[in-house]
Structure 1
Amino acid sequence: MAKSSMSKMSSPKSRTSKLVLPEGSAIALVYRLETAQAVSLAKKVADHLKEKNFKVLTGPEQKLIPGTKAAKTKDLNDVKLIIVLGGDGTYLRAVRMLEGRNVPILGFNMGSLGFLTAHSAESTFAIIEKTLAGKMVLRPRSMLVAKINRKGKTRGEYHALNDVVIERGSMSQLINTAIYSEKFLVSEVKADGFIVASPSGSTAYNLAAGGPILHPESPVFVVTPVAPHSLTSRPLIFPDDRELSFKLDAKKTQKAHFIVDGQKMTEITPDDEVVLTRSCYDHWMVREPDHNYFHLLREKLKFGDRS
């Protein structure tokens, strides 16, 4: 369950801001687990930061990087930056680790795709130097908040950077789900599941399921059915100031898996109502000032490539 302590949404006029790290600030490292290359780079990054007089911590639930302090959850309150060395899965693990704290993340890709970890591993020290020199900017990404309500009480609250998924899991039958927007029925759909994706998550599971690519600063989210049992069931884009809710059909579906950013959190039943809104807190990514999202699409997904 995420804490509500991230910085609140910025206004459209202040979509970016400079990242300034005073000397002596605490920086946490999160690396790709059980990967020798990531562990080796983490050690080098830690040494480099200590030489610059920064306090370096190893993120929770990881093997301690030599010469650093093991960060406990309470230590993250004082961290000013997280550096991720891994793939997008490692990045999302760092987001979960923060539990809603207002800490920007600088990601270096050591995985296969790297939409969230947009900087190459080869550029690690050059980008870190630019970051320490105050030459990088913070770009906001909207997040989703999902509440699971049962009999008038909230039994779970979760924040997601990429997506929230309701799916049948290993069960053989499709799930029957009613979708509501502001309490108005949108549709009743029979499918393997449903993806509710933020703009950041639109290039993840949503894209694989046939959903649209959303610009990362679009004030919307998208609901995409997974393998629907109807040709008329298509992805729907909603303004992110609307409340969406999902409820299983008690006559046809007994339970479903509830997944947040790729991690199964719980199971839901027809007694539950899943309510989704945009979180009032944004996540902040560290980017170069001339970062180009469309270049990222072309590079990572070969977007528009006709060859």
Structure 2
Amino acid sequence: MSLWIPVTLAAVLFQTARFMLQKHLATSGLSAGGATFARFLWAAPLVWAAWGVSGIGLPPLPPLFWLWAVLGGVTQILATVLVVLLFQSRNFAVGVTLKKTEVLLTAMIGFVLLGEGVSLPALIAILGGLAGVLVLTNLPEGRGLLGRVATRAAGLGLASGVFFALSGVAYRAASLMVPAAPGARALVTLLVVVSAQLILMSAWLRLREPGQISRVIGAWRGTLWVGVTSVAGSFCWFTAFTLQNAALVYAVGQFEVVLSLLASVLFFRESVSGREYWGIGLVTASVLALIALS
């Protein structure tokens, strides 16, 4: 098994834990922006500490690296805010699955921006996962396909998928420009990204949502763990991006829907319909096919 697969699965485990924490925070007095900021408030110091302990110096970085890193950071912020809003529209398992439109979108964006394509069997597996996403999309009574696309949950899921796809491709492009081993590449890129995200989110909340920063700090017992799981997950994602096409990394990352289903039922006591089980089954089959092809 290629190294990027277990690294991606580890990233999925940490990310699911973080989304569970953020879902709880979003329903405990914090806004979507505040729940998102909690990730960066504690993640940045943890990454700085890890970088200091590692002894890795900051290598010479080309100007294009900074452009890709900042683009990835901004689009990830937007995507995360949309996902937190999405949790307020559908249950936890379906909310996470709807954002998985990022997989096919990443393949398209990666091909356009980086010239990285995927094989035909891998594309078929990705399309199978997309079919699962469509099955999971809520279809109100009396609406056709246009009504499905027009639902708020579907719109938030698609928008978050676009921004996550852009961030994944941008992170891969940035990390490949760091002249170092894969682990060092991931750490340096993560250092730059979380620093920029902390600065941008702090400025935004002070201007648009006064009081949210103090609420996040006041809820440190919960928000601190968001930062810890964020750092662990992000390091694994960034390492995987240095080793493999972002579209394939995200595709295997769809295993998150299985973990989110367990979280939905066991922790949030939410019900999952038979139709949703079918959709999750299709997505899971897509992930297993991609692992078999690797």
Q: Indicate the structure with greater strand content.
A: 1
Q: Indicate the structure with greater helix content.
A: 2
TMscore range, shorter length: under 0.3
Larger Rg: 1
TM-score (normalizing by structure 2): 0.25
Higher relative contact order (CA 8 A, sep 6+): 2
